[in-house]
C-alpha cells in the first residue's frame, strides 16, 4: 500500500480467487487508519481475479499461480507455504479463496490463517452457503469469521453476524445483505486477532 506503510505493523497476506470485495473493504479500513496492519501481498490462484486489479490500485504486490503450474498438487501447497514465509506474513487473510488449504501452510501458520464464510457456521459450510440456507428455509443466516484448519469451514469461530432471511429472498438478495455485514465484520475480526497474536 503506497500510503501509511510503516515498519512493525503486522503483515497481512491476502488469498483471493475472485472479485475481492472483502479484501477491498479491509484495505479501505487500513487506509483510513482504523486497522493497523501492512498488506504486503495479495495472492490469487486465478490470474483473472478482479481482486488482483484492486490490489494493484492500492500499490500492493500481487502473485498468481495455480496447481496446474506445478507437476504435483503437493508442490503447489509447498509453494504457498514458502510464499507466505518469504513475505514474513503475520496473518493470512482468506477472502473468497476457493481452495482448501493443506498441511504445509497450515503447519507453518497455525492459528494465523483466517477466513470469512457467508453463513452462520457450523450451518451450511462449503460452496453456495446462501443457497443452502434458502433451500433449508432458515429465517436467519449471516456470516462467520473463523480460523482455518484442515476441514472445510470447521476452524474455531472468531466472530459472527446474524442476517435475516426475508420471505421473497433470492440467492442474490440474501448474498447482498450478508456481504454488507461481511464487509463490516471482517476487518474488526482481524483487528481483534492481531491484538492477540504472540
Binding site for ligand GRF (CB under 6 A): 16, 18-22, 51, 95-96, 116-118, 179, 182
Nearer to ligand GRF, 82 or 182 (CB): 182
117 is catalytic: yes
> Quick one: cell of 128?
453456495
Residues linked to residue 39 through DSSP beta bridges, in sequence order: 12
Quote the least distance from Cβ 30 to ligand GRF, whole Å. 15
Give me the residue whose beta carbon is nearest to ligand GRF: 96
Min dist CB 175 to ligand GRF, Å, is: 7
Cβ proximity to ligand GRF, 86 vs 170, nearer residue: 170
CB 117 within 8 A of CB 22: no
Active-site option among 117, 146, 161, 183:
117
Is the distance from CB of 195 to CB of 138 less than 8 angstroms? no
Which among 102, 92, 82, 186 has a CA at the least distance from the CA of 142? 186
Q: Is 28 buried (19+), middle (13-18) or exposed (0-12) by CB count in 10 A? A: middle
Least Å distance, CB 72 to ligand GRF, is 26
Contact yes or no for 118/180 (Cβ under 8 A): no
Question: Considering beta carbons, is residue 20 or 39 the nearer one to ligand GRF?
Answer: 20
The residues carrying an active-site annotation are 117
Amino acid at each position: 500500500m503506497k500510503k501509511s506503510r510503516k515498519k512493525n505493523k503486522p503483515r497481512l497476506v491476502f488469498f483471493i480467487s475472485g472479485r475481492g470485495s472483502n479484501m477491498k473493504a479491509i484495505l479501505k479500513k487500513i487506509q483510513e487508519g482504523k486497522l493497523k496492519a501492512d498488506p504486503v501481498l495479495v495472492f490469487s490462484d486465478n490470474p483473472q481475479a478482479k481482486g488482483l486489479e484492486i490490489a494493484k490500485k492500492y500499490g500492493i504486490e500481487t502473485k498468481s499461480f495455480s496447481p496446474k503450474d506445478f507437476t504435483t498438487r503437493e508442490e503447489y501447497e509447498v509453494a504457498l507455504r514458502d510464499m507466505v514465509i518469504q513475505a514474513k506474513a503475520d496473518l493470512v487473510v482468506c477472502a473468497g479463496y476457493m481452495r482448501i488449504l493443506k498441511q504445509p501452510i497450515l503447519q507453518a501458520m497455525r492459528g494465523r490463517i483466517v477466513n470469512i464464510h457467508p453463513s452462520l457456521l457450523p450451518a451450511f459450510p462449503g460452496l453456495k452457503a446462501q443457497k443452502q440456507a434458502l433451500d433449508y428455509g432458515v429465517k436467519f443466516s449471516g456470516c462467520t469469521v473463523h480460523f482455518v484448519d484442515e476441514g472445510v469451514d470447521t476452524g474455531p469461530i472468531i466472530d459472527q453476524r446474524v442476517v435475516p432471511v426475508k420471505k421473497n429472498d433470492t440467492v442474490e438478495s440474501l448474498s447482498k445483505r450478508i456481504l454488507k455485514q461481511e464487509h463490516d465484520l471482517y476487518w474488526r475480526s482481524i483487528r481483534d486477532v492481531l491484538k492477540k497474536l504472540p
